[in-house]
Amino acid sequence: MICARCQHFEAAPGGTLCTQCAVAPEPEAPQFTAAPVAWVRSPVGLGRTAAAVLGLVVVIDLFAIGAAMAVYDVAGDLVGGVSGVGERAERADSLYSSVGLLRTSVLLTCVVVFLCWFHRVRVNAEVFSPFGHAKKRGWAIGAWFVPIVNLWFPRRIALDIWDASSPWDAPRSHGLVDAWWTLWLLSVLANRAGSFAYSSSDTAEEIRGAVRQVLVADVVDAAAAVLAILVVLRLTRMQHEKVLRGPATAAF
């Protein structure tokens, strides 16, 4: 009789195992870790909310541009030696500070809503394409907060979501995602440079130069927010249409 374990050698007389398998330790059973369950949930509500909050970011950026222009004009008058601009300078500085505080609160709200939407579409994409993702779903949130890797991980995740959410027979181009991510990185760098220059400036000429950098940063930030709105709306629509077309298990 053949050995019941190795299926190769003859079993020992009166037994079911060969002499080698009889003295070998019993192999451990393989351990499997259950993968997190993924199911499709509608991204429409979160997508519309994220787009609306991003639209508010654009509005705040426009207000910030106006406030920065006021500071820029006052600084120019101070450089030119114009008298009687003290009151204007105080108003401009107060307006700029107020817009900055409002902007911070809007950005925090935007971060929360956007990440909720981003995680939702990432889980949905895992249903559409279980093996088409380079990063685990936890990175959909964590990747934004880890230094260095936040320069490219979110884009990689977004592209995987985009590919998984594209129509089954017609994959969509990455152009919109790449354009958004490029402007997003530029806005982050420009905002940091402008904020540092403004906080470290002392003279009117230095303030004028710093505000010029801040204006560029605000324009780029507004443009990045507009592209982010387009990405959110396009990706939300793609997932919604893909569920309606099937095949996918949905819980709408």
Chain segment 110-164, per-residue pLDDT in tens? 999 999 999 999 999 998 888 889 999 899 999 999 999 999 999 999 999 999 9
Looking at the structure of the chain, the number of domains it has is 1
- Render the burial of 22-58: b for 16+ CB within 10 Å, e for the rest: eeeeeeeeeeeeeeeebebbbbeebbebbbebbebbb
Q: Which domain holds residue 45?
A: 41-245
| Mean pLDDT to the nearest integer, 209-238 | 96
Q: Is the residue at 97 inside a domain?
A: yes
Whether 6 is covered by a domain: the verdict is no
Q: For residue 7, with 0-12 CB atoms within 10 Å meaning exposed, 13-18 middle and 19 or more buried, which class applies?
A: exposed
| Residue 2 domain-assigned (yes or no) | no
Query: Is 252 contained in some domain?
Result: no
Residue 3 maps to a domain: no
Structural domain includes residue 76:
yes
Tell me the pTM.
0.80
Which is more confidently placed, 29 or 52? 52
| Residue 188 is assigned to a structural domain of this protein | yes
* Average pLDDT of span 212-233: 96
Determine, yes or no, domain membership for 250: no
